[in-house]
């Protein structure tokens, strides 16, 4: 398939002053393509990624000129103990909770601490390599609250955050989802979409001899927050443009993208009649809507 470059229709329509700035904290690629991959494929964004595990950085480096990956541990700026687990994706600055892990088949082994090391964490606001932040992706195994609080300055202009949340905390002293929600609302964000929901079966039951076959118990998910749309008239033009691109390409949130475009039209920053222009883009296949698009 031919690569789609940055002169795609929506980018030409909104004409942001720069590419969308993505920051990915916990960029280990073990879970597959990140949500911003469609933008990266079209050369619509830059990515600054972080992971304290050198093996993850080695996998990520050299991918392209728009991507930078650094072996920094982002947190509250203090020295922390990194608990390395038998499953690298469960390694955390929080100690795994043995009682919680025992509730789910396989987790006691996956979350077994095999080594530990002292690591100097860096506050997001203090990382010189990070300039603008439009879109923050967080996958830090229980340290989400520390990262969010350490980045309040840089996140003041951000428009979207995707963070992993746990419905059943698997680490000792892990902030519950409600605390994360309060912090993000205090920073001016509202929930927008729930993606990558993970369920698991409660021990000791196993279905079809497959301990990974889930029933109904919610375990964790990625929750997408966007800047509170009730305050859109106070956003900058650039915030509206970047959120339109993120909504369109990363989440197929065509309604949110159009919402941003109409606010830009009211300011005279995009051509008049932008609603019909955008809907025609969707109908013509420049995006693949999930259903027929009507006004």
Q: Is 257 a member of any domain?
A: yes
Q: Is 293 a member of any domain?
A: no
Q: Is 294 a member of any domain?
A: no
Q: Is 2 a member of any domain?
A: no
Q: Total domain count for the chain?
A: 1
Domain span at residue 91?
A: 9-283
Report the percentage of the chain scoring pLDDT > 90: 83
Q: Is 84 a member of any domain?
A: yes
Q: Is 80 a member of any domain?
A: yes
* Per-residue pLDDT reduced to its tens digit, 153-189: 999 999 999 999 999 999 999 998 999 999 999 999 9
Mean pLDDT of 233-262: 98
**What separation, in Å, do the N-terminal and C-terminal C-alpha atoms of the chain show?**
32
Q: Which of 63-72, 91-100, 262-271 has the lowest mean pLDDT?
A: 63-72
Give DSSP secondary structure letters for 214-278.
--SEEEEEEEEEEE-GGGGGGS-HHHHHHHHHHHHHHH--HHHHHHHHHHHHHTTSS-TTHHHHH
* Per-residue pLDDT reduced to its tens digit, 71-117: 999 999 999 999 999 998 899 999 999 999 999 999 999 999 999 99
- DSSP one-letter code for 16: -
- DSSP one-letter code for 175: P
Mean pLDDT of 272-278: 93
**Residue 215 sits in a domain of what CATH number?**
3.40.50.150
Cβ(236)–Cβ(226) under 8 Å? no
């Amino acid at each position: 398939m031919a690569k789609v470059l940055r002169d795609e229709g929506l980018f030409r329509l909104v004409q942001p002053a720069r590419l969308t700035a993505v920051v990915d904290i916990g960029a280990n690629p073990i879970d597959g393509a990140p949500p911003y991959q469609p933008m990266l494929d079209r050369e619509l964004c830059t990515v600054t990624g972080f992971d304290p595990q050198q093996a993850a950085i080695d996998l990520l480096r050299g991918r392209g000129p728009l991507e930078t990956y650094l072996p920094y541990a982002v947190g509250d700026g203090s020295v922390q103990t990194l608990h390395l687990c038998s499953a690298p994706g469960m390694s955390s600055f929080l100690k795994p909770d043995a009682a919680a892990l025992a509730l789910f088949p396989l987790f006691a082994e996956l979350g077994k601490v095999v080594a530990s090391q002292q690591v100097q964490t860096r506050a997001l606001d203090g990382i010189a390599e990070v300039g603008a932040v439009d879109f923050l992706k967080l996958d830090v195994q229980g340290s989400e609250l520390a990262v969010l609080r350490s980045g309040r300055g840089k996140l003041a202009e951000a428009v979207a955050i995707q963070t992993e949340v746990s419905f059943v905390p698997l680490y000792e002293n892990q902030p519950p989802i409600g605390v994360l929600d309060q912090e993000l609302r205090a920073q001016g964000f509202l929930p927008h979409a729930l993606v990558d929901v993970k369920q698991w079966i409660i021990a000791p039951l196993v279905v079809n001899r497959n301990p990974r076959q889930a029933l109904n118990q919610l375990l964790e998910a990625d929750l997408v927050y966007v800047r509170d749309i009730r305050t859109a008239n106070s956003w900058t033009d650039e915030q509206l443009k970047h959120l339109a691109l993120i909504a369109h390409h990363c989440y197929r949130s065509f309604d949110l993208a159009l919402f941003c475009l109409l606010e830009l039209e009211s300011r005279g920053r995009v051509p008049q009649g932008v609603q019909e222009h955008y809907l025609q883009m969707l109908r013509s296949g420049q995006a693949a809507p999930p259903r027929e698009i009507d006004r």
